[in-house]
A and B are shown apart, each in its own frame.
Chain A
Amino acid sequence: MTTLDQTTEEVLRLAAEHFKVPRAELNPADDFFTKLGINSLQALDLLTRLEQHFRIELPDYELQGVSDFRTLAKRIQSRL
């Protein structure tokens, strides 16, 4: 069974890869809009990547108010 820490690490890795930033610069508590400098359209791209990687459907309304990687990973964890 995948733990929340493992899911968080995967989210950080995928975000770093997709937005071409060094993984070491991203932390679980970071605000991903600020840290990655992305807007809501780019956040939807990240959502699609995450859905493909984890083979889940994550309705985008679940991301309302979510801006840090750790909380995002919790939302994913609840669908695994």
Chain B
Amino acid sequence: MKSFQGKTLSWQIRTGTIELLLDRAPCNEIGSDTLSELERFAGTLESLAQDAHALTIASARKEGFCAGADLRELYERSQALGPAQRVSGIRNFLERIHRVMRTLDAAPLTTIAAVHGVTFGGGFELALTCDLIIADKMTRFCFPELRLGLIPGFGGIPRLKRDVGNGLVRDLLLTGRSINAAKAQSVGLVSQVAAEGDALGVARATAAQIGKFDRETAIAAKRFMKPLLHDELEREIEIFCELFTRPAVEAGLRKFVESSDAQPYLP
């Protein structure tokens, strides 16, 4: 399928680039619908890649790229289940999203995340699967999971460790603070900073440049430069599931879901 319009995302091929566009209110929270459509995209990617040299991932939502996992859905679904079912349910979700993320990570073309605004949690993890991150200057990156008594569960820690120094990994994880695009560029996480509203435009220009190079060479270079992280990713799922059974997590999720505080996205 060369193009697709779903409930939460769409894709099309435009001048040799696959453009994946997230579009689910309010800020592309990743729940079961988004996961299903991401799986559909991942299942089609190898075929799409025959006609493209690059993939961009962007958001149509003005609030940002992606605010992470759909915590409301996670909380509501887990409330309907007993403790053992809760863990098996979350493990199943994590294993499915990990398969999608691994497919994106190892995609046989150059991948570019064009991000803006809120790029938090699972959204940050999605961006980290990409070969390049191009950020609007108003982007904020954050791993807020420790506020909920959890760690990032979509492969975030191994991929962040792959790309930046361990000091920054500890800083972001242990404080839960967000950083802006300029800071993210200064530590090597972001390759280019774009003017407000221009991240996708800059990503398209970058994709056009990538298209000038021999495709097989680019794929070989990517495989050499970008190690896969199977063991650490498996370990991440185990730690997440262990933590998920703790009462602090349920309390943290309930607090977030029931909050009428004006500052739920502030730590």
Contacts and interface: CB of A to CB of B under 8 A. Distances in A.
Interface of B: 27, 63-64, 117-118, 137-138, 140, 142, 175-180, 182-183, 261-267
Interface in A22-53: 33, 38-41, 43-45, 47-48, 51-52
Contact of A52 (B137, B261, B263, B265): B137
Contact of B180 (A33, A40, A51): A51
B179 A41 contact: no
Given A41-B27, A41-B64, A44-B140, A33 B262 contact: yes
Interface of B: prevailing SS? loop
Q: How large is the interface on A (under 10, 10 to 19, 20 to 34, 35 or more residues)?
A: 10 to 19
Given A39-B262, A44-B140, A64-B263, A57 B183 contact: yes
B177 A40 contact: no
Contact of A44 (B176, B178, B182, B261): B178
Interface of A: prevailing SS? helix
Given A40-B266, A64-B267, A48 B138 contact: yes
A45 B180 CA distance: 10
Contact of A43 (B138, B177, B183, B263): B263
Given A41-B63, A41-B64, A57-B179, A48 B266 contact: no
B223 to A, nearest CB: 36
